[in-house]
Structure 1
């Protein structure tokens, strides 16, 4: 009997770890914040457990453990309890400010968001040091003295932040050469610090540390700082890298034109629309800083580029006035200037959506005179702003919005340049499908769906945030979430739109394409608009906007769509969707689709 009892005991101890496997330990560095006025703390991870306390909005807690959609925290310094994760917001540790990179080209554009369609905030130049705040796909969020925004990763050389202060960048940089006369040497890395000496052009310095736009050197036996923009940096082979000269320590005449500029003296002549990005831009009588200032134009003014010489642009503005401006302060718009705003008689619009309003004037404030059905066509008589004047049977003046129709010819004059105004302030919940033990589908060569959806979510989130949207992500890392908790987040934040991101699979590896799903018919237009942009930008097979009976759509009270962004079971698409260019295309498409949707419902 005793032996039998021992046998049972050992068997029981052996079985316990199998039935109840050890849960992963969570770092106490992970913090969450209460996002509701008052939240119950329970004795276990579920609503059936007793309430043992409460926490309030804004309070921060360390994560002790997780189980499904519940998080274990410590309250009152000694008592542990469980709270529902969907009522908490996550706080990720910030990227160390010591993470730095060197700009490898002149005139690298710093943009408002991670994408070429975002406006230019400023520029950084070759050999300038920037702090790296974040990185997503091919874009890096940087902080520099004069610019804070996103730049292309291709034009940065990253520095290992783990190096010590005295040996910082020792492998990459050993010496620098001063490029201006009477360069101030300061006791601290700041223009407000004391000047303790001067250096002249051609003098070499030993670089000890780089901090943002400043270089730490040895000067007369003591530590000192000089501005990095006036030091030409030499690598370990003593090959000098090109740096920029300046007229003063605070102002440089930088040559900037494209995302990364290659030196050339090409002269081109064509016409193209552009927007002024400087607060005030001098117009000169010739293509040089020595040119006489004849006028000035302001930020946001639209001009026509009629000639390009070196990196200067001859423009037409205020009617027929012409002059030269620095090209790096112009943001070119897509497409050439139309020869005429008068449309050919055989040009037509095609209605994209049922119930499209036809109005008596080119604005949403005008009365609706009829509603058109999807697929109907109308002859274009004229265009006023973003509206088309069309011919209807009653011969009355009639107008339709340009963003709810397609035309028989490409009309680049109806631009999406101001799409951010329709996204600003909107609450968008991004749901990266699967996660944790739920890998989702597995690709032809082993790609896990959960890993691709999080990449798409991260890049899309940054684009939407840059446009001013309030973005909520259901998961920011590899963890499992129930479908109910994803929907609960949509309800709690009163999402203007909920988007669930997925990648598809099928037994037949030849099946391919993109599909947008909706459950409620009221969300069909949302799905159609996003689907249209997805197909246009990715060029993948259009599988349409379809009805889908998915939990996150069916149980969601907010506008919701589920997107299948390519087939991982198709080897070609599996390889395609993993590339950064594809991620750029697909997130831009969703971004524009959302902007189009919010624009359409705002009228």
Structure 2
């Protein structure tokens, strides 16, 4: 009997010991969250008034050790943990598609067609900022969504249609060479930063810890070079930065001569990160990049390219249309102007005077070029092929040469600095509606939301997403994010389903009467762009609308229970049109409010 009691006591002790480890902290530690806002306060207690004990940055991941209501306790360091609002973080998931996963370090883009339009944003509603040709080299890949690719070339950043380019990843041999390259020590060298928000990292890798950030124009001391990484010192911080975003200056003792005795014109770089090339062509080797505001000396010019001298005797070629020559101001009305305009669309009107009321004297075709004679009231006066002159609106054509581009603000003027919270409905275990052929609503809502996010950000809006990947987000947290950020608009994106498979169309819901104008603007745009059946604007008592203190809408963008409509909304073309419609509807609303 005594023996049995001993066995029972030992078993009880083991049982209690095992379960003592299964407390909420241990269970929660299997969860990881990613910070979804720029700077997030970590508090001592799960309360908005709790003492701030630390701050964490967007994109950083932390294990969850406890939860309480809408608050999560994260392990910030080995000795420090604190509470953050759950709606300002997203769950980490193996299959998650994050912002970081949408970019590719060091990749280039191969252009597959001539005269590929580069636009200021990811959509045909954005203005043309340049052109790329099939033989273009050194076109740098920045990021992408499902329909558009953001690129950088010769100081210009913009978006191109994905179907006309191929993304080329770095060759494995190049990546291996980089890791094997030895560190080259430098002496007396400095570097000038050419971009804002450049991360200083603890190791020469984009995966290493961020020690701080640098801004465009700041100068740092270069301690060593390893492949494409610079070991730098700045205000007591020693770390690594990527050389693509810094221009190295040689020690003063290396100053060269002024070169030839030919007269030189001073000029200033007008764009950020302008490539200096070995020859006057886009095929020339990139020697380095010069930041906006750099003063250079022009030695010679050839076909709109300028041979320049910079950094105590270095020489190279840059595209002349990105230079502002000293003593030369932007064209004033009726002032003559160098350069050429390029027609962007077929049947572009050339008029007899700088006004849309004047007579059309010619309809020009896409790709045609005309010399600029003068600029009048945002119109280019151009020389036609027969020697006569005409006028074309400056905001509908592209330019090359030294002419200043004329832009008439479009929808983006009403979206700049607006705060928009986008809520891709459902996510994680909550798949939402299931289509006739098995489509999950949660996947469609994320696709539309990511496209919309890119368009709004390109217009200058501040955009927050309730989720960036296939993660679960509490329903109450979604409108709370809009309240927290004081959003100018909160949009919950959904796709509909019903037992009756014949039902189709798009519906827009709002809660308060003050939101009806927003609903009317966005819904009208959706019907126009998507060509779906108009199921009208309706008032409804949905939680995500009721709990939001900001202007809010819930959008149902088609019925996936209808097989035909499910096939339609799955296409990239529909996703592009739907996201454009919401973008334009928001602009229309803010224009009148």
TM-score, normalised to structure 1's length? 0.59
Give the secondary structure class of the aligned counterpart of 2:374: strand
Partners of 1:444 and 1:587 in 2: how far apart?
A: 23
- Give yes or no for the alignment of 1:329 onto 2:321: no
Matched residue, 1:316: 390
Matched, 1:498 2:490: yes
CA distance in 2 between partners of 1:495 and 1:162 (Å): 43
- Taking the aligned partners of 1:327 and 1:418, their CA distance within structure 2 comes to 14
Indicate the residue corresponding to 1:83 in structure 2.
Answer: 84
Matching of residue 230 in structure 1 with residue 296 in structure 2: no
Residue-by-residue CA offset, 1:429-487 (whole Å, 9 max, x unaligned): 11111111211111111111111111111111111112221212111112111122111
Q: Which whole-Å CA distance do the structure 2 matches of 1:327 and 1:52 have between them? A: 55
Specify whether residues 24 and 315 from structure 1 end up closer, same or farther in structure 2 by C-alpha distance, changes over 3 A only: farther
Q: Secondary structure at the match of 1:558?
A: coil
1:290-305 paired onto structure 2 within 5 Å: 295-297=373-375, 300-301=378-379
Q: Deviations over 1:506-533 (max 9, x none)?
A: 1111111100001111111211111111
Contact 2:340/2:371, CA 8 A, preserved across alignment: no
**Structure 2 portions without partners, runs of 5+:** 92-97, 178-242, 251-255, 258-272, 286-301, 306-316, 321-338, 355-363, 401-407
CA distance in 2, matches of 1:325, 1:454: 33
For residues 494 and 353 of structure 2, the distance between their equivalents in structure 1, rounded to whole angstroms, comes to 37
2:441 is matched with which residue: 446, 449, 467?
A: 449
CA distance in 1, matches of 2:572, 2:353: 28
CA-to-aligned-CA distance 1:151-182 (integer Å, 9 cap, x gap): 111121211235222899xxxxxxxxxxxxxx
Q: Is the 8 A contact 2:373 2:383 kept in 1?
A: no
- Provide the aligned C-alpha RMSD in A: 5.1
State which of 134, 137, 156 in structure 1 corresponds to 2:143.
Answer: 134
What pairs up with 1:214-229 in 2 under 5 angstroms? 229=282
C-alpha deviations, 1:31-60, integer Å up to 9, x for none? Answer: 566746x65234xxx669x97963358799
Describe the SS at the equivalent of 2:508.
strand
Residues 503 and 144 of structure 1, relative CA distance in 2, 3 Å threshold: same
User: 1-side partners of 2:176 and 2:352: how far apart?
Assistant: 46
TM-score, normalized by length of structure 2? 0.59
Within a 5 Å distance, the mapping from 1:136-535 to structure 2 comes to 136-161=145-170, 163-165=172-174, 229-230=282-283, 248=305, 249-251=317-319, 257-258=343-344, 271=349, 295-297=373-375, 300-301=378-379, 316-317=390-391, 328-329=398-399, 418-535=410-527
Q: CA deviation at 1:502?
A: 0.5
Q: Distance in 1 between matches of 2:144 and 2:387?
A: 33
Encode CA deviations 1:310-333: one digit per residue, 9 max, x unaligned: xx99873399xxxx9996439xxx
The 1:24/1:112 distance shift into structure 2, 3 A limit, reads farther
Q: Which has the higher contact order (CA 8 A, sep 6+)?
A: 2
Paired residues, what number? Answer: 428
How far apart are 1:124 and its partner, in Å?
2.3
Counterpart Cα distance in 2 of 1:111 and 1:576: 26
The reply on whether 1:109 has 2:117 as its aligned counterpart is yes
Q: Using a 3 Å threshold, how does the CA distance of structure 1 residues 568 and 494 change in structure 2: closer, same or farther?
A: same
**Does residue 121 of structure 1 match 2:129?**
yes
CA contact (8 A) 1:461 1:471 kept: yes
Aligned residue in 2 for 1:63: 62
Residues 107 and 141, structure 2, Cα contact 8 Å, conserved in 1: yes
* Offset at residue 132 of structure 1 (A): 1.4
| Partner SS state of residue 499, structure 1 | strand
CA distance in 2: counterparts of 1:82 and 1:294, whole angstroms: 61
SS at match of 2:492: strand
The alignment status of 1:593 with 2:585, answered yes or no, reads yes
Query: Do the aligned residues in 2 keep the contact of 1:503 with 1:564 (CA within 8 Å)?
Result: yes
Corresponding residue of 1:220? none
User: SS in structure 2 opposite 1:492?
Assistant: helix
* Conserved? CA contact 2:29–2:63, under 8 Å: no
User: Quick one: distance in 2 between partners of 1:326 and 1:82?
Assistant: 52
Return closer, same or farther for 1:427/1:231 CA change in 2, 3 Å cut-off.
closer
Whether contact under 8 Å (1:515, 1:545) holds in the other structure is yes
